[in-house]
Amino acid sequence: MSKAKDQPQAEVPILLGRVGNNLQMGVVGLPNVGKSSLFNILTNMSIPAENFPFCTIDPNVSRCAVPDERYDWLCEVFKPASKVPAYLSITDIAGLVKGASTGAGLGNAFLSHIQAVDGIYHMIRAFDDPDITHVEDTVDPVRDLEIIAGELIAKDIDYVSRTLDLLQRAVKNKTVDKAKQVELDTYTKLLEHLRAGKQARFATYSNAELEHVRELRLLTAKPAIYLINLSEDDYIRKKNKWLGKIKTWVDANGGGPLVPVSVAFEKPYSELKTAEEKKAYETTKGATTALPKIIKTGYHHLQLAHYFTCGADEVRCWTIQKGTKAPGAAGVIHTDFEKGFIMAEVMGYADFFEHKSETACKAAGKYRMEGKNYIVNDGDIIFFKFNTGGGNKKK
């Protein structure tokens, strides 16, 4: 891919949970499917990853840099004293088991940990290894998908049922206004959808319904990415007897991104120090790492993007929610920037890559002055002007 072109972004649904800049992905799945091992690799942390269920009890939270060729190139150009990439926060959540929605295993505590994140990496085991036990005794990814989806749906059904019941009690024998009726109808619609075995994020909602759904923060409303953990051999040869069946199940249950990965392949790769060593490893193995794709897919699936501030002192990525207007983007740097926002001086990354300098971009008419209603694009290079009360400043 040419560096001059914006990176492709995964197609994402409307977020039904929190919106903001500090969203988290959680790694979810049955015990012993490779969740903690992948988390260790992604975040370079050393947490327990032992061969027994419930090794992870409290959720581990860390962050990893989001790979971006544009950022790398800007660092080469400006040679800044400080470099700050975009980051994605990731939570390693302990394994769920059948019956978790009613308290089995470490049930409800883990389900609350899932509720605390904004998106899900659903880790699926598709490798055989007699030395790594399976909580269901046999390897069957489709059955495992049914178990996890079933537990999340069951917990959502319980929560929506109780919420609807409380609301119905509150309005009993009272005149129900239009707004309250929308709320009642939304919960009823959700309950019917969930009881049909469908996840909340795959229903269609009006704007009014959307607000009520977001307030619930349902487990099945969170965007999900399916990570298929293969053996090293299957990953290298890009074949596995379960891949087609997993895709069929995912497509039949609303769809979502599928990313094959192999913890067995990635672990030694992650321990290499230099780009040359990593390239030699991939050349020898005949396969490339899936880590950048996993991180970028999670980041964009949460509808996150970033713009750049560039100079000799620092090149930095600032994470924003897609659709953020210029004052809000300025506020990510400092709240005073948003309060005193005057304008944003903007160059698109592709334009800067083509013309190589701010001066050349100006000469080509590619340097713009944007106001409060400007929606910041992923990859914009921005200089903000703002008023602090004592005169104008620029950042």
User: For position 46, what pLDDT does the model report?
Assistant: 40
- Highest CATH level, class, for 24-56+93-301: alpha beta
Q: How many percent of the chain have pLDDT more than 90?
A: 72
The predicted structure's pLDDT at residue 52: 37
The structure's pTM equals: 0.86
The tens digit of pLDDT for each residue in 13-61 reads 577 877 777 899 999 999 889 998 999 898 874 433 344 333 333 457 7
Residue of 284, 242, 289, 239 lying closest to 264 (CA atoms): 289
Burial 76-105 (b: 16+ CB within 10 A, else e): eebebeeeebbbbbbbbbbbbbbebbeeeb
Q: 335-372 pLDDT, tens per residue?
A: 999 999 999 999 999 999 999 999 999 999 999 999 99
Please give the average per-residue pLDDT across 220-234, as a whole number.
96
Q: Are 230 and 262 in contact (CB under 8 A)?
A: yes
**Which H/E stretch holds residue 169?**
helix 141-171
**pLDDT at residue 5 greater than cutoff 50:** no
Question: Which neighbouring-strand residues pair with 269?
Answer: none
User: Looking at the predicted structure, is the pLDDT value of residue 239 above 50?
Assistant: yes
Q: Tokens 């990965």 sit at which residue?
A: 261
Q: Domain extents for the chain? A: 24-56+93-301, 304-394
Amino acid occupying residue 17: G
The length of the chain in residues reads: 395
Question: Residue 101 above 60 pLDDT?
Answer: no
The segment with the largest mean pLDDT, out of 109-123, 128-142, 172-186, 304-318, is 304-318
Average pLDDT over residues 192-210: 94
Higher pLDDT, 57 or 323: 323
Q: Kindly state the average pLDDT of the residues 68-91.
A: 95
pLDDT at 24 (0 to 100): 92
**From 3.10.20.30, 3.50.50.60, 3.10.450.200, 2.40.160.20, which CATH number describes the 304-394 domain?**
3.10.20.30
Q: Is the pLDDT of residue 381 over 90?
A: yes
